[in-house]
């Protein structure tokens, strides 16, 4: 009887576990280190509270949206004139940006592949130019292009609060193309500041240190 039970047990084990990888998989499930269901598995302890994956995503989203509508600008808002100059958006410059899309960069998971826009830039340049011109005339950016798929990365080794996570945002590639074109138009309207090193193309902290040393 004991031999029959032993043989039956060994047969069940051999049917369910193959190799050391399978053994460790079962051991991790038995010890609770690896959960079979992602809905019930605690992902990380944040703010002294163990959160499941859905709860973690929900609280993380609320944290990033906290006080978003209450953001105050640190510069005065000037009233918009009745007839302001809207810069012209030509299909040629849109075609340039579309044909130079870096397809190696990831975009939102619900976005279509960026290589489609790059390979069909000659077909998409004119309608996208009309859309960007409408954005500038109406002063409203499409809500879909504002949506980001956030992947939190650790700022520290063992994050304990949401502030310890760095958000890596994946946007829609068409929205990023529109941002580049609009930014190029806005930069033409900004005054040139000789002593500004931040947010300036081809200039960085090294230039600021060299100028500082030279002035001394």
Q: For the chain, percent helix, then strand, then coil, each to nearest 5?
A: 50, 10, 40
Element (H, E) at 42: strand 42-46
- Residue 90 scores a pLDDT above 90: yes
Q: What is the pLDDT of residue 4?
A: 54
- Residue 34 scores a pLDDT above 70: no
Q: How far apart are CA 184 and CA 205, in angstroms?
A: 23
Q: What is the pLDDT of residue 15?
A: 46
- Residue 103 scores a pLDDT above 60: yes
Q: What is the pLDDT of residue 13?
A: 44
Contacts of residue 97, Cβ cutoff 8 Å, sequence gap at least 6: 177, 180, 181
The full set of domain ranges for the chain reads: 1-34, 85-215
Name the band, by pLDDT with cuts 50, 70 and 90, for residue 27: low
- Indicate the range of 17-26, 29-38, 80-89, 159-168 predicted with least confidence: 29-38
Q: What is the mean pLDDT of the chain?
A: 79
Over range 43-55, report the average pLDDT.
80
- pTM for the full predicted model: 0.62
- Residue 177 scores a pLDDT above 60: yes
Q: What is the pLDDT of residues 133-169, one digit of tens each?
A: 999 888 889 999 988 888 888 888 888 888 888 888 8
- Residue 85 scores a pLDDT above 80: no
Taken in order 185, 186, 189, 192, the sign of the CA dihedral is negative
Q: What is the pLDDT of residue 12?
A: 45
**Contact predicate 97/177, CB 8 Å:** yes
């Amino acid at each position: 009887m004991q031999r029959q039970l032993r043989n039956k047990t060994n047969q069940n084990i051999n049917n369910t576990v193959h190799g050391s990888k399978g053994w460790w998989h079962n051991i991790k499930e038995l010890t609770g280190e690896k959960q079979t269901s992602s809905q019930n598995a605690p992902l990380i302890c944040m703010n002294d509270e163990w959160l499941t994956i859905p709860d973690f995503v929900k609280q993380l989203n609320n944290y990033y949206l906290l006080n978003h509508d209450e953001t105050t600008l640190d510069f005065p808002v000037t009233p918009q004139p009745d007839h302001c100059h809207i810069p012209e958006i030509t299909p040629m410059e849109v075609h340039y940006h579309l044909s130079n899309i870096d397809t190696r960069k990831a975009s939102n998971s619900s976005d279509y592949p960026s290589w489609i826009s790059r390979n069909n830039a000659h077909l998409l340049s004119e309608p996208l130019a009309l859309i960007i011109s409408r954005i500038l005339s109406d002063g409203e950016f499409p809500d879909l292009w504002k949506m980001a798929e956030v992947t939190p990365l650790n700022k520290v080794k063992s994050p304990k609060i949401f502030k310890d996570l760095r958000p890596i945002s994946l946007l829609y590639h068409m929205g990023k193309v529109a941002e580049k074109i609009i930014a190029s138009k806005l930069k033409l309207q900004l005054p040139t500041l000789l002593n500004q090193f931040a947010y300036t193309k081809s200039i960085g902290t090294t230039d600021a240190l060299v100028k500082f040393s030279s002035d001394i």
